Amino acid sequence: MGGKFRPLPVIDLARKGPPGLSERFRARPPRSMFFFLFPTLGDAVVMTGPLGWFRRRYPEARIVVATSALARPILEACPFVDEVWLRPRSRIAAMLGFVARLRRERFDLGINTYGQNNGLLMMGLGRMGAIVGMKTSKYARFYDAWDESNPDENLVVEGMARIARMVDVEPGDWRPAFTIPPEMAQGAREWLVAEGLGPGEPYVAIQVGASNPNKAWPLARFLEIAARVEAAGVRCVYVGGPAEASALAAVGKGRGLNLAGKLEVLETAEVLRGARLLVTNDSGPMHLAGGVGTRCVAIYGPTRPINHPPYGEGHVLIPGACACARKDQDSCLGTCIAAVGVGEVWQGIEHALNT
């Protein structure tokens, strides 16, 4: 099997791409492209913009993306995507079935975002015409070309821009692109009314959870923020999934309307679209809010605003200044995000609401 691996080319990032690859697709545009996406909601939202770069360059190509069940509605609502597959579970039988499906499709181009090891392995075994993406710690021999991320950049957008140029795609605006169906918008409005929000009544949305618990600001501080917001005459609406619903089970009406766990993903997007502001951790709803034009006051801990910002302007992004030795989400000790005080977040809210 080792004899079938392709050698890695030397990449000059000042070029449009590695020798021959851009020219190859310029001469014969790909008929089908496959994107293996990171499974979180936020990354799906952010990637909808760059998918448009590829659609505009290769308008006739079929674009297929693989993502999680949570993120699937966003990609299905993206106008640049033809088909959405669910990522397989990390089990041998599921992965082999996925490889077989890739082999049947014979994609001309595969793109592995974020350098995911299992994704690259399946793509490599799936017999694609060419594979590009971010550097991985394993299986890099399957790449035709790869790039290394810069710790001081927007990891999705700027890294994807370099990957796009490898295959003769010029990057542009990364504005998230998804459409909220009318029935989802109507459903969201009905939920707000059912929970007691008056017609046209302003509200601030609050998201207390995160994909990793080390990214979550203490719940008690969110509740204090909610009390201050409501004391200022503005209602609070909690959003999120089942985990947030469980954490907020004891929150009463006096501290906001609790829609966590009740909404579909695109209904949540509609609720965020109508909010004056979202107060949140670095989370999927933060990126949803940016995608629908709502400002965020976002609290970061082991992650950095420069790497994972929401789209748009006017956001207040509060860094936790993580000092952990490895500086990753799993090994973070939590002192960074816990050091962010209520006063600092409240100042950010006042600034965002008054500018």
Q: Do both 131 and 264 map to the same domain?
A: no
Per-residue model confidence as pLDDT tens digits over 189-228: 999 999 999 988 999 999 999 888 888 999 999 999 999 9
Q: What is the pLDDT of residue 324?
A: 67
pLDDT per residue as tens digits for the range 79-136: 999 999 999 988 999 999 999 999 999 999 999 998 899 999 999 999 999 999 998 8
How many domains, the chain?
A: 2
In a domain, 176, yes or no: no
User: Which residue range is the domain that position 6 belongs to?
Assistant: 2-166
255-290 pLDDT, tens digit each: 689 999 999 999 999 999 999 999 999 999 999 999
Domain membership flag for residue 66:
yes
The answer to whether residues 11 and 143 belong to one domain is yes
Pick the last residue of a domain from 103, 135, 166. Answer: 166
- Whichever domain contains 341, its CATH number is 3.40.50.2000
Last residue of a domain, one of 102, 131, 166: 166
- For the entire predicted model, the pTM comes to 0.90
- 63 and 144 part of one domain: yes
Whether 325 is covered by a domain: the verdict is: yes
Residue 175 lies in a domain: no
Which own/partner contact pairs does 220-228 have at CB distance under 8 Å and 24+ positions apart? 221/341, 221/342, 221/345, 222/279, 223/251, 223/255, 224/342, 225/279, 225/342, 225/345, 225/346, 225/349, 226/255, 226/256, 227/255, 228/342, 228/346
Label residues 158-178 b or e (16+ Cβ within 10 Å = b).
bbbbbbbbbbbbebeebebbb
Report pLDDT for 327.
Answer: 59
Residue 174 lies in a domain: no
